[in-house]
Chain A
Amino acid sequence: MTMDWNDVNRITLTGDLSMVGVKEQYRHMERYAVSQAEAVAAGREQNAPLEIDLDGVRELDACGCQLLAVFLNNLRQRGTTACAFKLNDAHRIKIHNLGFDDEIFNGRCP
Chain B
Amino acid sequence: MNHQDPTVLEINTARFNRMFFEECSEHLAEMERILVSLDDGEPDDEQLDAIFRAAHSIKGGAGMFGFQDMILVTHVLESLLDKMRNNEITFSPSMIDLFLEAGDVISMQLSGHRDGSEVNQEAVDLIRGKLQLVIEGGTAAVKSESAFLPAYVHQGNIVTDCNAPSADTTVHRYELTFAPDPDTFKRGVRLDNLLADLEELGMLTAHAQVSVPGDFSTFDPEGCITSWRLCLETSVGEADIREIFEFVADEDQLQVLDVTDGASATGENAEYGETAQCGLRIEEDSSAPAASADHPGTVTAGRRAYDKNGTTPAAYGRRAGDAESSIRVGVTKVDQLINQVGELVITQLMLSQTAAKLDPVLYENLHRSLLQLERNTRDLQQSVMSMRLVPIGIVFSRFPRLVRELAAKLGKQVELKTIGDMTELDKGLIEKITDPLTHLVRNCMDHGLETPDARIAAGKRPGGTITLRASQLGSRIVIDVIDDGAGLNRDKILKKAAERGIQASDSMIDEDVWHLIFSPGFSTADAITDISGRGVGMDVVLRNVQSMNGRVDISSDPGKGTRITISLPLTLAILDGLSVAVGKEKFIIPLNSIIESLQPTVENLKTVNGKHVVNIRGDYLPIIPLYELFNIDSLLKEPEKGVLILIDVDGEKAAVLVDALLDEHQVVIKSMETNYRKVDGTAGATILGDGRVALILDVNSLLQMRKQNMANS
Chain A interfacial positions (CB closer than 8 Å to B): 16, 19-26, 29-30, 33-34, 61-63, 65-67, 69-71, 73-74, 77, 92-94, 96-103
A78: nearest residue on chain B (CB-CB)? B216
Contact residues in B for A100 (Cβ distance below 8 Å): 208
Pick the contact of A66: B9, B224, B229 (CB < 8 A).
B224
Pick the contact of B221: A22, A34, A101 (CB < 8 A).
A22
Is A96 within 8 A of B3, CB to CB?
A: no
Q: How far apart are B87's CB and chain A's nearest CB, in angstroms? A: 37
Contact residues in A for B207 (Cβ distance below 8 Å): 99, 101-102
Q: How far apart are A35's CB and chain B's nearest CB, in angstroms? A: 12
Bound complex: CA of A21 vs CA of B10, how far in Å? 11
Question: Interface residues of A: mostly helix, strand, loop or mixed?
Answer: helix
Question: Interface residues of B: mostly helix, strand, loop or mixed?
Answer: mixed
The reply on B210 being an interface residue by CB < 8 A is: yes
Bound complex: CA of A92 vs CA of B206, how far in Å? 14
Bound complex: CA of A100 vs CA of B159, how far in Å? 16
A36: nearest residue on chain B (CB-CB)? B216
Pick the contact of A102: B157, B230, B282 (CB < 8 A).
B282
A67: nearest residue on chain B (CB-CB)? B221
Pick the contact of A74: B209, B216, B279, B282 (CB < 8 A).
B216
Pick the contact of A63: B205, B212, B221, B282 (CB < 8 A).
B221
Q: How far apart are B606's CB and chain A's nearest CB, in angstroms? A: 73
**Which of B185-193, B342-350, B508-516 binds A?**
B185-193
Is B212 within 8 A of A69, CB to CB?
A: yes
Q: List B residues 192-251 near A (Cβ within 8 Å).
A: 192, 195-196, 199, 205-210, 212-213, 216-217, 219, 221-222, 224-226, 228-230
* Given A99-B208, A100-B208, A102-B282, A26:B221 Cβ within 8 A: yes
Is A22 within 8 A of B222, CB to CB?
A: yes
Pick the contact of B210: A30, A34, A70, A97 (CB < 8 A).
A70
Bound complex: CA of A23 vs CA of B185, how far in Å? 12
Bound complex: CA of A103 vs CA of B212, how far in Å? 10
Bound complex: CA of A97 vs CA of B157, how far in Å? 8
14 contacts between A and B (CB under 8 A): A19-B222, A20-B10, A22-B222, A26-B221, A62-B185, A62-B226, A63-B221, A63-B222, A69-B208, A69-B226, A70-B225, A97-B206, A98-B206, A99-B208
The reply on B138 being an interface residue by CB < 8 A is: no
Is A65 within 8 A of B208, CB to CB?
A: yes
The reply on B6 being an interface residue by CB < 8 A is: yes
* Given A22-B222, A33-B217, A70-B210, A92:B191 Cβ within 8 A: no
Contact residues in B for A103 (Cβ distance below 8 Å): 208-210
Contact residues in A for B190 (Cβ distance below 8 Å): 61-62
Given contacts A69-B226, A97-B199, A98-B191, 7 further A-B contacts (CB under 8 A): A22-B221, A62-B185, A62-B226, A63-B222, A70-B212, A97-B196, A99-B195
Give the size of the chain B interface in residues (CB under 8 angstroms). 38
Is A63 within 8 A of B217, CB to CB?
A: no
A92: nearest residue on chain B (CB-CB)? B157
Bound complex: CA of A68 vs CA of B224, how far in Å? 13
Is B213 within 8 A of A70, CB to CB?
A: yes
Bound complex: CA of A67 vs CA of B279, how far in Å? 22
Bound complex: CA of A63 vs CA of B192, how far in Å? 10
A32: nearest residue on chain B (CB-CB)? B216
Is B221 within 8 A of A73, CB to CB?
A: no
Question: Nearest 5 CB-CB pairs, A to B?
Answer: A99-B206, A26-B221, A99-B208, A96-B157, A62-B191
Contact residues in B for A25 (Cβ distance below 8 Å): 221
B186: nearest residue on chain A (CB-CB)? A19
Q: How far apart are B175's CB and chain A's nearest CB, in angstroms? A: 14
Q: How far apart are B357's CB and chain A's nearest CB, in angstroms? A: 61
Contact residues in B for A22 (Cβ distance below 8 Å): 221-222
Bound complex: CA of A50 vs CA of B105, how far in Å? 49
Q: List B residues 123-172 near A (Cβ within 8 Å).
A: 154, 157, 159
Is B185 within 8 A of A70, CB to CB?
A: no
* Given A26-B219, A66-B210, A97:B195 Cβ within 8 A: yes
Q: How far apart are A25's CB and chain B's nearest CB, in angstroms? A: 7
* Given A69-B212, A93-B157, A102-B207, A30:B217 Cβ within 8 A: yes
Q: How far apart are B130's CB and chain A's nearest CB, in angstroms? A: 28
* Given A61-B190, A94-B192, A97-B199, A66:B6 Cβ within 8 A: no
Contact residues in B for A71 (Cβ distance below 8 Å): 216
Bound complex: CA of A99 vs CA of B178, how far in Å? 12
Bound complex: CA of A71 vs CA of B260, how far in Å? 37
Contact residues in A for B210 (Cβ distance below 8 Å): 66, 69-70, 73, 103
Q: List B residues 281-312 near A (Cβ within 8 Å).
A: 282
Bound complex: CA of A97 vs CA of B205, how far in Å? 7
Contact residues in B for A94 (Cβ distance below 8 Å): 192
Is B6 within 8 A of A97, CB to CB?
A: no
Is A66 within 8 A of B225, CB to CB?
A: yes
Is B216 within 8 A of A70, CB to CB?
A: yes
Contact residues in A for B195 (Cβ distance below 8 Å): 97-99
Q: How far apart are A22's CB and chain B's nearest CB, in angstroms? A: 4
Q: Per-residue CB proximity of B553-574 to A under 8 Å, as 1/0?
A: 0000000000000000000000
Bound complex: CA of A43 vs CA of B451, how far in Å? 94
Bound complex: CA of A74 vs CA of B225, how far in Å? 14
Contact residues in B for A34 (Cβ distance below 8 Å): 217
Contact residues in A for B6 (Cβ distance below 8 Å): 16, 20-21, 23-24
Q: How far apart are B233's CB and chain A's nearest CB, in angstroms? A: 16
Q: How far apart are A107's CB and chain B's nearest CB, in angstroms? A: 13
Is A73 within 8 A of B212, CB to CB?
A: yes
